[in-house]
Amino acid sequence: MTPLPQPADPTGPVAVPASGDRRRHPAPAHLVFFHGSMDCGKSTLALQVDHNQSRQGRSGLLLTQGDRSGAPQISSRVGLRRDAVELSAGTDVRLLVRHRWAAGHRVDYLIVDEAQFLTGTQVEQLAELVDESHVDVYAFGLTTDFRTRLFEGTQRLFELADDVQRVQVQVLCWCGLPGLLNARVVAGELVREGATVVVADTAPAAPPGPGGAPEVVRYQVLCRRHHARGQLGPSPSGPGQLALR
Ligand SMILES: [Zn+2]
């Protein structure tokens, strides 16, 4: 990562090159991170930001990893979707952008969805694109994993972003309190151990049947108390469906 420029000494004889660059680019770019729990509308917001930027005549590049649709695109639960470039842990985001430039495409801003899956190095690459190439970066990701710990990409974005915002669409636990934590559920039980990244959706098409159908991993948003207690609510097999009994 590029070391931070030292403050210019006004009495010093040597001009600081970065100040000259800044004069040529009066509007500095920004690294902005929006985070929240599952279902809080991050991908919808990502597509809205892209829409607003492109309406101003700016040209963007959309990046994602492991989107719920399984295809390289950003999709939201309210039905919006746009094609995106799929990142892997080894992708150098700076090279990705430079290759677009070399092919004659403008890249004024990046939309990075599922930013929790970025490596720390990739977040540093994004910061370098902001500072050295004046590309605005809007990143969207989950705050914590199922163990209630920050994801690697999320942590590095907290450390480096110019602006960090919690997405304000409120997701509720089954008890009605704000749901801030993501629970991983296997065979109807909240689990606290395992790989950090197991991509699944919060609402499987069909819950496992009584005949012992293969159990799928699913995720459920809970309040802190019910995450700690491992209590999944009155209808653990059907998220979002309250059983009347
Ligand atoms: Zn609760």
With left for phi above 0 and alpha for psi between -120 and 50, is residue 233 left, alpha or beta?
left
Q: What is the DSSP letter of 190?
A: E
Say what the pLDDT of residue 197 is. 67
- Interval between CA 178 and ligand 1 midpoint (Å): 8
According to the model, what pLDDT value does residue 216 have? 78
Torsion over CA: 167, 150, 76, 234 (sign): negative
**180 CA distance to ligand 1 centroid (A)?**
10
22's CB contacts (< 8 A; 6+ apart) are 28
Distances 132 to 22, 127, 215, 232 between C-alpha atoms, Å: 10, 8, 48, 47
Output the pLDDT for position 75: 81
- pLDDT score recorded for residue 66: 76
Cα of 58 from ligand 1 centre, angstroms: 42
Sign for the CA dihedral angle at 105, 110, 116, 119 comes to positive
pLDDT digits (tens, 9 = 90+) for 91-131: 999 999 999 999 999 999 999 999 999 999 999 999 999 99
pTM for the complete prediction? 0.72
What residue ranges define each of the domains in the chain, with the CATH number in brackets? 17-166 (3.40.50.300), 171-245 (no CATH)
193 is catalytic: no
Spacing, Cα 39 to ligand 1 middle (Å): 16
Ligand 1 centre to CA of 45 (Å) is 25
| Ligand 1 midpoint to CA 149 (Å) | 18
Buried b (16+ CB within 10 A) or exposed e, 167-194: beeebebbeeeebbbbbbbeeeebeeee
Residue 207: its pLDDT value, please? 45
What pLDDT score does 93 carry? 97
CA distance 75 to 128: 27
Q: How confident is the prediction along the chain (245 residues), in pLDDT tens digits per residue?
A: 445 444 444 444 444 444 444 445 557 899 999 999 987 888 889 998 999 899 989 999 999 987 666 677 888 777 778 889 999 999 999 999 999 999 999 999 999 999 999 999 999 999 999 999 999 999 999 999 999 999 999 999 999 999 999 987 678 899 988 888 999 999 889 998 887 766 655 444 444 444 445 567 889 999 999 999 999 998 644 444 443 32
pLDDT at 215: 62
The residue annotated as part of the active site, out of 114, 124, 193, 215, is 114
Residue ranges with CB less than 5 Å from ion ligand 1: 173, 175, 177, 223, 226
Q: What are phi and psi of 68, to 5 degrees?
A: -60, -25
